[in-house]
Amino acid sequence: MTGTSTQIKTTAAQLPQVHETRNPGMDLDMDWVASVQANTSAIERRAATLPGRRSVKKEYQAAWLLKAITLIDLTTLSGDDTPGRVQRLCAKAANPVRRDILDALGVGPIHTGAVCVYHEMVETAVAALRGSGIPVAAVSAGFPAGLSPYRLRVAEIGESVKAGASEIDIVISRRHVLTGNWRALYDEMREFRSACGDAHVKAILATGELQTLRNVARASYVCMMAGADFIKTSTGKESVNATLPVSLTMIRAIRDYHQRTGHRVGYKPAGGISKAKDALVYLALMKDELGDRWLQPDLFRFGASSLLGDIERQLEHHVTGRYSASYRHPRA
């Protein structure tokens, strides 16, 4: 088990993070936005090859799955959320894998990247996670539709920050993208960023409602120009959430923005990622397109609620050679 433990520790360890200067944004460059195109057929062909391009097995797979856990925004966004449920979710975030499994793998404690909740549950989550080093993310700005009065959306951001959220997942107004009103999207995102203060802002594009990959690409650029720290695919409430073609489009926009400005922006696929094998595909995609630096929690997150359970089952299978029932790995 020595070689196994060494590989797992090397890949999965939560190393000291390199915290860079936040993306400050820039003036809206309409010439740049207008020049952005998306070759849909080429993107879809490339995306179709991704699941078969990288295959990791045995201790290497276990190592990458542990890495994936450290990148999860463990999420509960249900109408029946209660303080008790959120407290249990926070306990799971702080101890995402059973101790006996970690001991068998030869690694120390790990935790998820964040816990994501509605504004009403921010104070509960902050109290439950105090001292753990795990940030609380709040969905805001009229989540999930983004159609509440504008002043209330801005005020909601401020209230979540005041309650202790250090990350804010905001939803953009899709109509600005669908009508090509890039100035309105830029101004909206800029004000949302300002309202977040020191809290990092993830711009949710709701890509399943943007109709074309070109719209996805242009919206990505505009939000980054306006100062988004992350761009995120979905709320998880749309009929179509994170997909590989959308992810490839957004990741390449991030790469181009970094090459032109020197500023790194994070990426968060959300919705529909529930299997360990899917997490491995996204990790390989990030490594191939953006490099190892984007495999840290300050630049990559999974928005997921059920992914953790399947990863834990796969880790137990690696240790014991048997698949256990899902109820042995409760989310909360």
Peptide bond into 144 cis (omega under 30): yes
Instruction: Indicate which residue of 67, 73, 92, 169 is catalytic.
Output: 169
Among 9-18, 163-172, 319-328, the range of highest mean pLDDT: 163-172
Residue type, 207: T
- Residue 70, pLDDT above cutoff 60: yes
> Considering the domain boundaries, does residue 18 fall inside one?
no
Residue type, 23: N
pLDDT score, position 327: 67
55 lies in which domain range?
2-11+24-324
pLDDT score, position 332: 56
> Considering the domain boundaries, does residue 67 fall inside one?
yes
> Considering the domain boundaries, does residue 330 fall inside one?
no
Instruction: Indicate which residue of 67, 92, 232, 310 is catalytic.
Output: 232
CB 283 within 8 A of CB 67: yes
Instruction: Indicate which residue of 73, 202, 268, 310 is catalytic.
Output: 268
What residues form DSSP beta bridges with 174? none
Residue 196 CB-density burial (10 A; 0-12 exposed, 13-18 middle, 19+ buried): buried
> Considering the domain boundaries, does residue 331 fall inside one?
no
CATH number at residue 200: 3.20.20.70
> Considering the domain boundaries, does residue 191 fall inside one?
yes
298 as an active site residue: the answer is no
pLDDT score, position 125: 98
Q: Determine what percent of the chain is predicted with pLDDT higher than 70.
A: 92
pLDDT score, position 57: 81
> Considering the domain boundaries, does residue 271 fall inside one?
yes
Q: Structure pTM?
A: 0.92
27 as an active site residue: the answer is no
- Residue 48, pLDDT above cutoff 50: yes
How many domains is the chain built from?
Answer: 1
> Considering the domain boundaries, does residue 17 fall inside one?
no
- 230-232 and 167-171 strand pairing: unpaired
268 as an active site residue: the answer is yes
> Considering the domain boundaries, does residue 283 fall inside one?
yes
Residue type, 325: A
Residue 54 CB-density burial (10 A; 0-12 exposed, 13-18 middle, 19+ buried): middle
CA dihedral 331, 77, 130, 22 (to 10 degrees): 120
pLDDT score, position 2: 40
Taking the C-alpha atoms of residue 116 and residue 122, their distance in angstroms, rounded to an integer, is: 9
